[in-house]
Chains A and B, each alone.
Chain A
Amino acid sequence: MKTVAKRIVFAVILALAAGLAYGAFLPSPEKLTLKNGITVYYLKSTDLPLISFRMWIKGAGYVDEPAEFEGMASLTSTLLLKGTTSRNADAIAEALDFMGARFSVSAGDEYAGINGESLAEHFPKLLEIAADCLRNPSFKEDEFVKERKTRIDSLKAVKDNPGAAIRYYFQKAYFGSHPMGHLSSGTETSLNKLSVAEVKGYYQKFFRPERSIAAVVGDIDKAKLLELLNSTIGAWNASGAAAPLAPVPALPKPKGAKLLLIDKPDATQAYWVLGAPGYAVGDAMTPQATVLNTLFGGRFTSWLSTELRIKRGLTYGASSSFQTWTAGGLFNASSYTRNEKIGEMLDITFGLLKKVRQDGFTPEEIESARNYIQGQFPPTLEANASKATAYARLAFYNLGFDYYDKYLAAIQNVSQATAKDAAGKLIPETDFVLVVVGKAADIKQQLEKFGTWTERKITDPDFQ
């Protein structure tokens, strides 16, 4: 049924919590080693007859794509399910659907992720199919052509939805030619240059068992699981040499205000995203930055939400977040409002950015944020899949399985002073990227005071 919700879901805590946890809620997993060397973190959980599986393949995300292969990681991930030497695409889809299972392979930023979840009775079949897709993909020309066309068509269609399209424009505007500027989906231009032969080569060099880790949480015994894994994922052996993975270059730091306006003449609302440098995964600043973001734009009573939504009714949603990677991170804030209010909304936002740098937060605000982060934490690790993801993430980034205990303890120690210090370091003053998507004719004049804008049409090719 259709429902309309009170608010956008504040994904910040959850997104971070893909990387946060608590000793009591994240039991230490058992470490299993498969015959091909893959490490699997395992926890038995018998509450429900379900099993969750996660596998992260380092280097098979878009950050490590060769420059000329934008979109390759994601395309290859999808094509893995489009046929093996013994099953065609329809047979794979049929087998997965028949179990009522959830299964996906998708390219993230620094890794490709395999997510599987099924009733315990179907888990052997799920793993068998997963391993078949990983070990024996056929990469047929017709499937490649079909999938590429679907992607190009989807990229065109996304421009009808300004709230979604602005994320693509922002990523390009902020990261430019840096590998983090690769759109996971690719662009029409980049996809048209790819060939099925290149997909095969890319798969062979970048999808590697020796760079994979896995996690299993659910209703299965260790001995049985180990046997099952060894006959499936554990039998995956790559051929030839792996592509060397170069360290990701330092993330770009904007100098001055980089302003980009995308004209969408039928938009009745103007959308904006502002971004500036953040911090890397596991940075010691994480606890104070999390408190800072919670109060600035990470929950319903945050400053952004209070000033833009609650007090003035300018928007349905206003929020901020930090995203973190190995090479660095990103702060971003975003919202939208009716065309005639965009200037006022941005003025208020810049006022808040300035205020948080200058004044920081009250002791009561700090206490509230600490309570909120602690209180909202346990549900983020409640389900099997959440625990499995946490194991994969902690292992992938070498954070240690006690990371969340330390993190939550550190949250309790965040003070007015350390939060203000974090704001001084992380909240932009003059150096940032700001992208607006809206009806230029109605909003251009209001935007002039913020500086010189580069203007593009939404119908221009790709997302430049």
Chain B
Amino acid sequence: MLKKSWLVPLAILSCSLILPAAFRKEDVRVFKLDNGLKILLLEDHDIPNIALYTFYHVGSRNERPGLTGVSHFIEHMMFNGSKKFGPGEFDRKMEFAGGSNNAFTGDDMTGYTDWFPAAALEPMIEMEADRMQGLLLDPKVLESERGVVASERRMSVENNNDSILSENVRATAIMAHPYHWDVIGWMSDIQGWKRDDIMNYYRTYYSPNNAVLIVVGDFNSARALELIKKYYSGIPAGPPPPAVTTVEPPQMGPKNVVIRKEAQAPSFEMVFHAPNCTSPDYCPLAILDLVLMNGQSSRLYRRLVRDEQLAINVGGGISETIDPQLFTFSVKPRPGADLNKIEAAIEDELGKVKSAGITEQEYQKALNMIRGQFYFGLQTISGKANQLGAAEILYGNFETLFTQMDKYAAVKREMIQEATKKYLTENNKTVGKLIPEGGVK
């Protein structure tokens, strides 16, 4: 119920412990071309297919007012023509060769995900390389695609009350940092982006030194590397993209958002400023997230959904992001539920963690969940490619993937209590309520 249809879960809750033979750090071959392109190759011959993932270090974090949503728009335009392959040709050629693809944009990264039979490796590499630098941005196609993204925004935000509230809460809680806006961007920006600005943005961020290429599947590494060199070596390195320098100032008191609109059921969200993914406080809060909201035995599910019958579901948690973002409690209230009671119940549960911490049983359960998630994510070549790519973007190094579980295991229970006291505080809080008008009572 709370899932938004355009969410692509990255499942980067990762860990290590006893890693199976099928996925070892030593099996990942790492290369870097002279132009700065980082390459990870992992042979896996279980099925005769390949996952080719290209991750760029660019997301809505790199945008500015007027150009919000442009990272995601470029992701769309990447399928609409580059130097050697005209509009639509990428998909036509790829599908003819038996391949399919998708792409996603997040706060911190943009990923292009291709899945194809082994024989299509060369054409896929050639097409991926071509669009790394040769995007056309044909004006007519650009206008048509603008309509697609506007439709996507209508579908995923404007006709989804939880998303409307979530966008408002985020923009209220985060004042200065570009995480202020959602990845999809504001509608007036979607309607107003100029071609020149889009092209400049593309040129700034789409260069070999700002990307990592991950190939997992049924190929020979020497041959794959040869092909990658053939098509990528001629692409010049670009100047390093500008750093994101805005730092979110501390919040100095609680904030509230109220939205009134036609709805059958209310929406509720409560957020707190949280540390970024490399902070020592990140893992303790990621464990707290599981204890409070993951599974039907979690504290808030039991209280809000089962015991007090105030909600249909709970979700959220800490964002795994490069810069500090939010710890979110996203609750789907029952029609007619008292939102103040939901707020008070969450506060009460946070108070309990602050005063008494979490139990040993809860701590072990969280570690087991993290371990399970990790393995479930490794069952496919695309799962492996995804985890490697996300680790590269967020931590600058895929090897962190193999030590993540050690990081979680090193968290002491007291650290969870301390982090809760430090971040989930009254002055750090923003509460959002969508209150139905009209509709069924």
Do A and B pair up? The answer is yes
Residue positions of A touching B, CB distance < 8 A: 1-10, 24-25, 47-50, 89-90, 93-94, 96-102, 117-119, 146, 149-150, 153-154, 156-163, 265-269, 299-301, 306, 309-317, 336-338, 367-368, 371-372, 374-376, 378-379, 381-385, 459
10 extra interface residue pairs, beta carbon distance < 8 Å, beyond A146-B306, A368-B95: A4-B104, A6-B79, A100-B371, A119-B375, A149-B309, A163-B159, A336-B155, A338-B150, A374-B117, A378-B48
Which of A1, A300, A337, A379 contacts B115, CB < 8 Å?
A379
Contact with A along B7-34 (1 / 0, CB 8 A): 1101010000010111100000000000
User: How many Å lie between the Cα of A459 and that of B321 in the bound state?
Assistant: 40
Q: For A99, what are the chain B residues with a Cβ–Cβ distance below 8 Å?
A: 368, 372
> Which residues in A have their C-beta under 8 angstroms from that of B255?
none
Near A by CB (< 8 A), chain B positions 105-163 give 105-108, 111, 115-117, 120, 143-152, 154-156, 158-161
Instruction: List the A residue with the shortest CB-CB distance to B44.
Output: A47
Once bound together, how far apart are the Cα atoms of A93 and B182, in whole Å? 34
Which residue in A3, A9, A459 is a CB contact (below 8 Å) of B183? A3
Q: Which residue of A lies closest to B111 (CB)?
A: A3
A375 partner, pick from B120, B144, B148, B149, beta carbons under 8 A: B120
By beta carbon, the residue of chain B nearest A143 is: B306
| Total A-B residue contacts, Cβ distance less than 8 Å | 254
**Contact between B160 and A368, CB atoms less than 8 A apart:** no
- Contact status of A310 and B144, CB under 8 A, knowing A4-B6, A49-B375, A98-B364: yes
Contact A156 B47 (CB under 8 A): no
CA–CA, A300 and B113, complex, Å? 14
Q: Which residues of A contact B160 (CB under 8 A)?
A: 160-161
Docked Cα-Cα span, A378 to B98, in Å, equals 11
Does residue B382 face the partner (Cβ distance < 8 Å to A)?
yes
Stretch at the interface among B220-228, B258-266, B342-350, B421-429: B258-266
Q: Which residues of B contact A (CB under 8 A)?
A: 1, 4-8, 10, 12, 18, 20-23, 46-49, 72, 75-76, 79, 88, 91-92, 95-108, 111, 115-117, 120, 143-152, 154-156, 158-161, 182-184, 261-265, 294-298, 302, 305-306, 309, 312, 319-321, 332, 334-335, 361, 364-365, 368-373, 375-376, 378-382, 438-440
Is B296 a contact partner of A384 (Cβ separation < 8 A)?
no
Nearest CB to that of B390 among chain A residues?
A1
How many angstroms between the C-alpha atoms of A157 and B296 in the bound complex?
Answer: 20
- State whether B151 touches A7 (Cβ < 8 A): no
Give the chain A neighbours of B146 by CB distance below 8 A: 313
In the complex, the answer to whether A150 meets B312 with C-beta atoms within 8 Å is: yes
CA distance A334 to B320 in the complex (A): 35
Contact B379 A382 (CB under 8 A): yes
Can you name 25 A-B residue pairings with CB atoms under 8 Å? A1-B12, A1-B108, A1-B319, A1-B320, A3-B105, A4-B106, A96-B295, A97-B297, A150-B312, A157-B1, A157-B312, A160-B265, A162-B159, A163-B5, A269-B154, A301-B88, A306-B88, A313-B144, A315-B148, A316-B149, A337-B151, A338-B154, A371-B98, A376-B98, A385-B379
Decide if B297 touches A94 in the complex (CB within 8 Å).
yes
Complex contact B6–A3 (CB within 8 A): yes
Given A48-B22, A49-B375, does the pair A266, B262 have CB atoms closer than 8 Å? yes
Whether B145 and A97, one on each chain, are in contact in the complex, defined by CB atoms closer than 8 angstroms, is no
- Residue from B96, B99, B295 in contact with A367 in the complex, judged by beta carbons closer than 8 Å: B96
- B22 in contact with A3 (CB, 8 Å): no
Closest chain A residue, CB of each to CB of B369: A100
Query: Nearest chain A CB to B408's CB is how many angstroms away?
Result: 12
A3 touching B104 by the CB < 8 A rule? yes
Complex contact B159–A268 (CB within 8 A): yes
Write out the residue numbers on chain A whose beta carbons fall within 8 Å of the beta carbon of B439.
159, 459
Tell whether, in the assembled complex, residue B155 and residue A316 are in contact, meaning their CB atoms are under 8 Å apart: yes
How far does the alpha carbon of A356 sit from the alpha carbon of B102 in the complex, in Å?
Answer: 27
Cβ contact within 8 Å between B151 and A314: yes
B151–A315 contact, CB under 8 A?
yes
Contact residues in A for B380 (Cβ distance below 8 Å)? 379, 382-383
Are the CB atoms of B96 and A368 closer together than 8 Å?
yes
**In the bound complex, how far is the Cα of B370 from the Cα of A159, in angstroms?**
34
| Residue among A3, A96, A336, A368 with most chain B CB within 10 A | A3
Chain B residue numbers with a CB within 8 Å of A4 are 6, 72, 75, 104-106, 152, 156, 183-184
